[in-house]
Amino acid sequence: MVRQRRADDIGAFCWIAMRCSQTWDWIDKRAIDKHVVSIVILYGTWIVTDWAMGFAAATSIAERPGLESAALIAAVTGPYMALQAAAIAFYFKART
pLDDT tens for 19-34 read: 998 998 898 888 788 8
- What's the pLDDT score for residue 3? 64
Q: Is residue 18 part of a domain?
A: no
Q: Is residue 11 part of a domain?
A: no
DSSP notation for the chain: -PPP--TT--SHHHHHHHHHHHHHHHHHHTTHHHHHHHHHHHHHHHHHHHHHHHHHHHS-TTTS-HHHHHHHHHHHHHHHHHHHHHHHHHHHHHH-
Q: Is residue 38 part of a domain?
A: yes
Q: Is residue 2 part of a domain?
A: no
Structural domain including 62 reads: 32-95
Q: Is residue 49 part of a domain?
A: yes
pLDDT tens for 36-95 read: 888 898 899 899 989 888 887 787 666 777 788 888 888 888 998 898 888 888 877 866
